[in-house]
Structure 1
Amino acid sequence: MESQFLFATGIENSNPTIDHGKTRVDELEKCGFYKYWQTDFQCVEDLGIRFLRYGPPIFKTWLGVDKYDWEFCDQTFADLRRRNITPIVDLCHFGVPDWLGNFQNLDFNKLFPAYCKAFAQRYPWVQLYTPVNEMYICAEFSALYGWWNEQLATDQAFVTALKNIVKANVQAMHAILEVRPDALFIQSESSEYFHAENPSAIKPAEILNAKRFLSLDLNYGRRVDSEMYEYLTDNGMTRDEYHFFLENNLKHQCIMGNDYYRTNEHRVRDDGSTTASGEIFGYHVITTQYHDRYQLPVMHTETNLWQGPKGDEAVNWLWKEWANVMRVRNDGVPILGFTWYSLTDQVDWDTALRENHGTVNPLGLYDLQRKIRPVGEAYKKLISQWSAVLPAQSACLQIPLVPINDTGKPYVAALQDKARESQESYQAQITNSEQPDNH
């Protein structure tokens, strides 16, 4: 069983649509992954990284109801397994296939679980999943800010997208567990904080600081704050829809992934509008808030910074984030891993993928010519120095991590039987427990 700290990177597989669905922003294509994927996996190996956030491009793989094209997926996942790189599989990253439209289509939560189950059946050696990446951000950018996909900007559209996305994620977890009962789910979600600019902004900031938890509250079956309950129901969520989340959560199979960038903290004006505040609290303080709320093992699942004019800006940010991770750990929070995101520079990240300029953003461990950046060298050194001295962290998980090439061994089958019994017991507790409505 795996016991090492999860040092990771990611290969960005975002694919939202812009221009009202006419343009697909395929970050794998923009970053040259389809051409250089073998080189990219070699880069991961060269860094000493054994965990990789990566998933197939959903719009090229999921072609219709029960229709899939696994050719490219078979190639890439076979190579990852050969290299003994454990994937954290990112199955939906900000976009859906054209035939599904966008996140206002409630068929998404009905059909997506079947796609996830089909993936799990084809690759039974995969244990770690992020079914839907950054659920809150996906709903916000698609249906509240009007940037991607449906490009709507109303509270009702946002609530529709949010409930659709989170329900799809919950049902996908159930579907994957039918195939791999010891699967573990890492919810990569943006960790935010909103600072009141003046006394009149305190109430708007409080609302935004409650709202930031909505996706994880629903996903983990936690009762939302009363003001958020009114917000959800005022904007189209029914009581039955809300109670689905209370009664079907799989919190005990989850690791809470917290993404943190310098843009994750905001100043709030008295009219509720926001502007970037820069880093004030930092990862340590904000992640502690999230852990206090959900009491789950934690993983730092995304961060980066541009390599600036001095050439050491990203290196210094890496050190600062790692210091925050160590502070979280030393405070007693079970933190399992750290991720620099992503492996290579990205394209149009600076406009959150909503404008198609082709601008290369120098924030990867490697540039797009696959030449290592200073932060790549620094991360490689960090991994080599800390891997041997960090104690095993899997003790905080009810379900242990299994080496990818041990799938099918007798001890793994026994673990999976135990995991299945645990699920049945947990679900029975939820079903039998009283759920008084306090709202």
Structure 2
Amino acid sequence: MYLPSLFDSFFMGGFECSTHRRHDGRRLDLIAATGHDRHAPADYAALRRQGLRSVRDGVRWHLIETAPGRYEWSSLLSMLRATREQRVQVIWDLCHYGWPDDLDIWQPAFVERFARFAGAVARLVRDEGIEVPFYAPVNEISYWAWAGGDQAHFNPMAQGRGQELKHQLVRASIAAIEAIRAEAPKARFVQIDPVIHVAPASDRPDDQAAAEAYRQAQYEAWDLLTGRAWPGLGGRPEYLDILGMNYYSDNQWFHGGATIPPGHPAYRPFQGILAEVYQRYRRPLLVAETGAEGEARGPWLRYVAEQVMAALERGVPVEGICLYPVLDYPGWTNERHCPAGLLGYPDADGTRPVCAELEQELRRQQARLERLREERGRLASALS
């Protein structure tokens, strides 16, 4: 069995921090929309009370770089100092779909500016006394390339340019890593993308080949970062440190068809996906996003946690599960209340209601992990 130890807590909370522009041109800022910017100290304290001492959170580039090379740090400093006061470990997302308006994402200047920004963030975090920071340089390169480069769902609102956008985001991630390591040599990096399963819609060989090709495409961004594919982009194995995998109930589907629901004969157990990713890259894994809405929240966490613990029993190094988003949030496209969090909308004092069902399931899974640790400890003592 593998016993996770990389993060301060195995179960984590993730704050939705998207900052992209929608198809209608409106910029989203989910940190502000959820009230997390105003209530960060209370939010971190609430998560600590739930045993979530590690979190994902966002650095809002578009707010900070007010002009080329000019940084206004107040939005980050208040949150950064709150994490220190509440003794919360953070994986900081540096580019969660958004960038300053004066930049053209398709141009070399995007990569250069992002690298300088990442280095500046690393200096600030270092000067605040954080010796081993964690960063997610560019969130969901593969999904962003599809949604923004092929489907025009959000910025840069392109179609048929997904591969081009993916290459640009890989370049930006590599440049950011180099800039951060120059300031903070001990920094760790989480490269986050969805993991999926795609099943053929029939037994026809062409359907099977198409489904497998689509399934294999989930690895493209990680392969580019390692230099397995398109080495001219500058990828090297050391750019893949921790693999962050986003996994939801709709991450499996029939090629060209409907979602495969859990329990269906074609549904692939999540522990198998975890094992395949580890065998391919031999890197520590993090379930960087997972969650559900409404009454499905507790059962979904139960399924994911049971699958992860089965993978741990098989020796797969999964270092954590991040409840994402950990706060209820307004929907990207219509501002509807999405009841997906462990915590709800805040009152005037910043107090948030707790989803009792999800809290109970989290407690059960935390206790289960502790029992596994104790059993492993007793076994180790008996064998020594």
TM-score (norm 2): 0.87
Q: Which runs of 5+ in 2 are unaligned?
A: 347-351, 377-384
Match of 2:101 in 1: 98
Match of 2:212 in 1: 206
Once the two structures are superposed, residues 9-45 of structure 1 have per-residue CA deviations (whole angstroms, 9 ceiling, x without a partner) of 111100110135x210221222122232222122112
Q: Percent of pairs identical after alignment?
A: 21
Q: Which of 90, 110, 113 is matched with 1:111 structurally?
A: 113
Match of 2:222 in 1: 216
Question: Aligned equivalents of 2:192 and 2:64: distance in 1?
Answer: 22
Match of 2:336 in 1: 359
In the alignment, is residue 335 of structure 1 matched against residue 312 of structure 2? no
Structure 1 segment 81-92 matched on structure 2, within 5 A: 81-92=84-95
Once the two structures are superposed, residues 228-281 of structure 1 have per-residue CA deviations (whole angstroms, 9 ceiling, x without a partner) of xxxxxxxxxxxxx642334x4424x6011111101111211xxxx343223311
Q: Alpha carbon RMSD of aligned pairs, Å?
A: 2.1
Match of 1:175 in 2: 179
In the alignment, is residue 11 of structure 1 matched against residue 15 of structure 2? yes
Question: Displacement of 1:178 after TM fit?
Answer: 0.8
The amino acid across from 1:11 in the alignment is: F
Q: Which of 284, 294, 301 is matched with 1:297 structurally?
A: 284
Contact 1:170 1:249 in 2 (8 A): no
Aligned length: 355
- Change in Cα spacing, 1:146 to 1:49, as seen in structure 2 (3 Å) is same
Question: Displacement of 1:190 after TM fit?
Answer: 0.5
**After the TM superposition, which parts of structure 1 deviate over 4 Å for at least 4 consecutive aligned residues?**
1-5
Contact 2:56 2:93 in 1 (8 A): yes
Question: Aligned equivalents of 1:257 and 1:3: distance in 2?
Answer: 13
Contact 1:48 1:384 in 2 (8 A): no
Question: Aligned equivalents of 2:9 and 2:44: distance in 1?
Answer: 20
SS in 1 for 2:294: coil
Question: Displacement of 1:104 after TM fit?
Answer: 2.8
Contact 1:4 1:390 in 2 (8 A): no
SS in 2 for 1:339: strand
- Change in Cα spacing, 1:104 to 1:387, as seen in structure 2 (3 Å) is farther
Question: Aligned equivalents of 2:27 and 2:36: distance in 1?
Answer: 16
Question: Aligned equivalents of 1:159 and 1:361: distance in 2?
Answer: 31
In the alignment, is residue 150 of structure 1 matched against residue 124 of structure 2? no
Question: Displacement of 1:3 after TM fit?
Answer: 7.1
Question: Displacement of 1:222 after TM fit?
Answer: 2.1
Question: Aligned equivalents of 2:359 and 2:135: distance in 1?
Answer: 25
Match of 1:250 in 2: 238
The amino acid across from 2:326 in the alignment is: L
Question: Aligned equivalents of 1:32 and 1:222: distance in 2?
Answer: 42
Q: Which of 273, 276, 287 is matched with 2:259 structurally?
A: 276
Contact 1:257 1:301 in 2 (8 A): yes
Question: Aligned equivalents of 1:2 and 1:134: distance in 2?
Answer: 22
SS in 1 for 2:326: coil
Question: Aligned equivalents of 1:292 and 1:186: distance in 2?
Answer: 18
In the alignment, is residue 161 of structure 1 matched against residue 165 of structure 2? yes
Bigger Cα displacement from structure 2, 58-67 vs 88-97: 58-67
Contact 2:41 2:83 in 1 (8 A): no
TM-score (norm 1): 0.76
Question: Aligned equivalents of 1:201 and 1:173: distance in 2?
Answer: 39
The amino acid across from 2:238 in the alignment is: L
Once the two structures are superposed, residues 385-420 of structure 1 have per-residue CA deviations (whole angstroms, 9 ceiling, x without a partner) of 5357538x9xxxxxxxxxxxxxxxxxxxxxxxxxxx
Match of 1:419 in 2: none
SS in 1 for 2:258: strand
Question: Displacement of 1:138 after TM fit?
Answer: 1.1
